[in-house]
């Protein structure tokens, strides 16, 4: 290959590498959470629920506002109804029965109707309930955000843990490969057995297979993270290692569960159920309504919309104002039964609130214990990794001088891999416990954002 072709190929590979690097986006945990809160379906639906609550309030207000309708109709009577009328009775003379037609062939009318609820307890209660419904959706959106933050954080940490295990295997592969090369050199010089070389090659193949499996696990974990973020799966991302740093926290003995989103939602739900009970009780109250109408009517034997008085079509207006009262007296105890059922729903919710608080207290204590245990485990595993590294280095040196067997060398390498994986798992346990701890305190959103 000529020099200029080599240069062209090198430039092409460099350009391709730069393109790949630019296409890969670096994402911190905070950025991942912010992205999820903007793009994940649950977050978008929660925001739509809040918008929908505004229209529910508008609908509830409509019950307290006047309603105005325009009405119009036109009727054609092909055959008029007749009635027998004794005209003699009016004049005092002999009976004279005549058939008189009732009405006109055409009847047209139009007008405006107004109705206004002056007093309706259900309307007033419904308006208050609608406002509380919006607050309920706002609290639900807050809980949804916390759930998204928790899922994204856990998925983010899972990716790092698998990546760390892959790096450990890569280090083990490199170390084992060096040992294999040493054994091969000794074998070539008649100082090592072929079985030792074969065992080392088998171990390298096994590690290589596990490495491929780990890479597949990383891809799956990254895809899960992107799903929880609401990000297109084909996007390439790179995470920031500093987000996995372990920072011990000052743990509190107890926390108040009243500030937890789960409890706030149940408390708001209790308020809504109280409004529901009041709405049922409103059936005991009378209602007062004002109705008014103004209409214009045309009667005649010809089409009224195109004819007037000279054609025998006569138009006139009329109006009425009505003040109506509806006073409930007895409905067979139906309202009493509905009130009792509404109260039972309130009582059941009180049980749910107490049980939820108990569960949240349990979650907090478990998270606090897990953090304490994870910190202790981290210290032990860190020391264990250092010890395993020392043992592996000494065993490799001893093997080169014939003071250790290949089995001891492989066991030392496997022990080092296991120690590093245990440390990675301890870090993951701590980070997950940290998420649960701040969630239990009701500070998850503030802590991670």
Which strands make up the sheet holding 287-300, listed edge to edge?
67-76, 106-119, 287-300, 314-326
> In whole angstroms, what is the distance from residue 205 CA to residue 404 CA?
23
Residue 251 has pLDDT above 90, yes or no: no
- What local confidence, expressed as pLDDT, does residue 400 receive? 76
State the pLDDT confidence band at 80, using cuts at 50, 70 and 90: confident
pLDDT tier, 15 (very low <50, low <70, confident <90, very high otherwise): very low
pLDDT at 90: 64
Which of 183, 179, 182 has its CA nearest to residue 171?
179
Dump pLDDT digits (tens) for 144-200. Answer: 999 999 999 999 999 989 999 998 899 888 888 888 888 888 888 887 788 888 888
Query: What Cα–Cα distance (Å) separates residue 239 from each residue in 24, 26, 152, 157, 414?
Result: 10, 6, 12, 10, 28
Residue 266: pLDDT over 90: yes
Nearest to residue 416, comparing CAs of 267, 192, 111, 207? 207
Supply angle C-alpha 390, 426, 33, rounded to 5. 130
Strands 67-76 and 106-119: antiparallel
Nearest one of 29, 24, 25 to 159, comparing CA atoms: 29
Question: What was the pLDDT predicted at 293?
Answer: 95
Rg over alpha carbons for the chain, rounded to the nearest Å, is 42
Question: Does residue 403 have a pLDDT over 50?
Answer: yes
pLDDT of amino acid 63: 87
Averaged pLDDT for residues 48-56:
92
Spell out a b/e string for 43-74, using b for 16 or more CB atoms within 10 Å of the CB, else e. Answer: beebbebeeebeebbeebeeeeeeeeeeeeee
Under the banding of pLDDT at 50, 70 and 90, the label for residue 23 is: low
pTM: 0.77
**What pLDDT does 17 receive?**
41
* pLDDT of residue 12 exceeding 60: no
Q: Please, which pLDDT band fits residue 440 given cuts at 50, 70 and 90?
A: confident
Find the mean pLDDT for residues 8-28: 52
CB 183 within 8 A of CB 203: no
pLDDT at 11 over 90: no
Q: Is the pLDDT of residue 399 over 90?
A: no
| Rounded Cα gap, residues 360 and 264, in angstroms | 13
Kind and range of the H or E element at 287? strand 287-300
Rounded CA-CA distance 159/243 in Å is 12
pLDDT of residue 391: 93
Nearest to 218 by CA among 281, 160, 266, 175: 160
Tokens 């597949």 belong to 216
With cut-offs at 50, 70 and 90, classify the pLDDT of residue 5.
Answer: very low
Q: What's the chain's average pLDDT? A: 86
Confidence (pLDDT) at 93? 67
Closest to 175 (Cα-Cα) out of 198, 197, 207: 207
Give the mean model confidence (pLDDT) for residues 281-302: 92
The 10 Å CB-count burial string (b at 16+, else e) for 338-373 is bbeebeeeeeebeeebeebbeebeebbeebbebbee
Question: Taking 70 as the threshold, does the pLDDT of residue 92 lie above it?
Answer: no
User: What DSSP line would sit under 203-222, residue for residue?
Assistant: HHHHHHHHHHHHHHHHHHHH
The DSSP bridge pattern shows strands 106-119 and 287-300 to be antiparallel
Residue ranges of the domains in the chain? 24-63+120-285+331-448
What are the start-end ranges of the E strands in 120-273?
236-239
- Indicate the CATH number of 24-63+120-285+331-448 among 3.30.70.1230, 1.20.1600.10, 1.10.150.570, 3.40.50.300: 1.20.1600.10
Q: Which residues contact 324 (CB under 8 A, 6 or more apart)?
A: 288, 289, 290, 291
Chain segment 306-356, per-residue pLDDT in tens:
888 888 889 999 999 999 999 999 989 999 999 999 999 999 999 999 999
Strand 24-27 and strand 236-239: pairing?
parallel
What SS3 state is found at 434?
helix
Cβ within 8 Å of residue 149, ≥6 positions away:
33, 36, 37, 444, 445, 448, 449
SS3 for 184? helix
Q: What is the reported pLDDT for 349?
A: 95
Higher pLDDT, 90 or 327: 327
> In which residue are the tokens 């609401």 written?
230
pLDDT digits (tens, 9 = 90+) for 267-279: 999 999 999 999 9
What tokens does 349 get? 């919710």
pLDDT at 187: 84
* pLDDT: which is higher, 446 or 215: 215
Note the pLDDT of residue 319: 94
| pLDDT confidence of residue 255 | 74
| pLDDT greater at residue 438 or residue 340 | 340
CA atoms of 83 and 106, how far apart (whole Å): 19
Report the C-alpha dihedral over residues 399, 401, 404, 405, rounded to 10 degrees. Answer: 60
State how far the Cα of 236 lies from the Cα of 260, in Å rounded to an integer.
35
Mean pLDDT of 100-128: 89
Crossing angle (nearest 10°) for helices 194-229 and 406-441: 10
Burial classification of residue 81, based on how many CB atoms lie within 10 Å of its CB (0-12 exposed, 13-18 middle, 19 or more buried): exposed
Using pLDDT thresholds of 50, 70 and 90, give the confidence band for residue 19. Answer: very low
């Amino acid at each position: 290959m000529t020099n200029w072709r080599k240069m062209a190929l090198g430039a092409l590979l460099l350009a391709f590498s730069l393109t790949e690097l630019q296409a890969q986006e670096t994402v911190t945990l905070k950025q991942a959470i912010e992205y999820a809160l903007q793009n994940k379906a649950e977050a978008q639906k929660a925001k739509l629920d809040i918008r929908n609550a505004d229209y529910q309030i508008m609908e509830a207000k409509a019950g307290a506002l006047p309603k105005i309708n325009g009405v119009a109709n036109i009727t054609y009577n092909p055959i008029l109804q007749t009635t027998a009328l004794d005209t003699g009775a009016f004049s005092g003379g002999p009976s004279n029965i005549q058939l008189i037609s009732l009405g006109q062939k055409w009847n047209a009318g139009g007008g405006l109707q107004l109705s206004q609820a002056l007093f309706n307890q259900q309307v007033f209660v419904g308006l208050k309930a609608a406002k509380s419904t919006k607050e309920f959706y706002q609290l639900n959106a807050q809980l949804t955000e916390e759930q998204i933050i928790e899922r994204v954080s856990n998925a983010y940490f899972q990716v790092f843990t698998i990546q760390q295990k892959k790096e450990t295997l890569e280090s083990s592969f490199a170390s084992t490969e060096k040992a294999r090369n040493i054994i091969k050199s000794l074998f070539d010089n008649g100082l090592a057995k072929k079985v030792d070389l074969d065992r080392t090659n088998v171990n390298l193949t096994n590690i290589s297979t596990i490495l491929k499996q780990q890479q597949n696990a990383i891809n799956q974990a990254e895809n899960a993270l992107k799903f929880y973020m609401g990000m297109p799966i084909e996007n390439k991302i790179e995470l920031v290692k500093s987000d996995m740093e372990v920072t011990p926290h000052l743990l509190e003995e107890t926390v108040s569960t009243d500030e937890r989103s789960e409890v706030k939602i149940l408390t708001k739900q209790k308020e809504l159920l109280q409004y529901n009970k009041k709405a049922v009780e409103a059936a005991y109250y009378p209602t007062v309504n004002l109705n008014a109408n103004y209409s214009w009517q045309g009667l005649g034997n010809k089409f009224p919309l195109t004819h007037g008085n000279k054609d025998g079509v006569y138009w006139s207006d009329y109006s009425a104002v009505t003040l109506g009262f509806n006073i409930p007296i007895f409905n067979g105890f139906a309202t009493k039964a509905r009130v009792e059922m509404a109260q039972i729903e309130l009582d059941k919710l009180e049980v749910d609130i107490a049980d939820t608080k108990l569960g949240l207290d349990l979650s907090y204590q478990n998270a606090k214990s897990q953090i304490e245990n994870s910190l202790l485990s981290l210290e032990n595993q860190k020391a264990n990794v250092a010890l395993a590294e020392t043992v592996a280095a000494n065993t490799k040196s001893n093997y080169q001088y014939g003071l250790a067997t290949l089995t001891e060398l492989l066991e030392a390498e496997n022990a080092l891999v296991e120690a590093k994986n245990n440390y990675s798992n301890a870090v993951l346990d701590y980070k997950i416990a940290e998420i649960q701890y701040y969630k239990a305190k009701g500070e998850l959103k503030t802590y991670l954002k």
